[in-house]
Amino acid sequence: MPLGGGNKCGCCQKTVYFAEEVQCDGRSFHKSCFLCMVCRKNLDSTTVATHENEVYNIHLAVNFLVSLLKKNWQNVRALYIKSSMGKPQRLY
């Protein structure tokens, strides 16, 4: 923690104070900065997916994979969602 403040935001690199902090993958964000990288919707712990240090809306990712399945992608055998605290759930 830097002197005189909280952690740095993973998006805007400004100081994040405790009252406005959202943590994901060990990084801190402002509530207003915790947005999907594609659709820019606000995220919370139930709708977040991370890939290569970027945060995404899990519904967008699932819809993309379902669209691939509709295009007869035969090499997709299963689709799982894993929450940070729970067991993986098979969607397809």
Q: Determine the pLDDT at residue 73.
A: 66
Please check whether residue 12 lies inside any domain of the structure. no
Q: Determine the pLDDT at residue 8.
A: 92
Name the pairing type of β-strands 27-30 and 21-24: antiparallel
Question: Which residue, among 80, 75, 77, has the nearest Cα to 58 in the 3D structure?
Answer: 80
Query: What would the DSSP string read from start to end of 25-83?
Result: TTEEEETTT-B-TTT--B--TTSEEEETTEEEEHHHHHHHHHHHHHTT-TT----EE--
How does residue 74 score in pLDDT terms, banded at 50, 70 and 90? low
Please check whether residue 11 lies inside any domain of the structure. no
Please check whether residue 69 lies inside any domain of the structure. yes
Please check whether residue 7 lies inside any domain of the structure. no
What mean pLDDT is reported for the chain?
Answer: 79
pTM of the model: 0.60
Please check whether residue 14 lies inside any domain of the structure. no
Compute the average pLDDT of residues 55-62.
79
| % of residues, the chain, pLDDT over 70 | 85
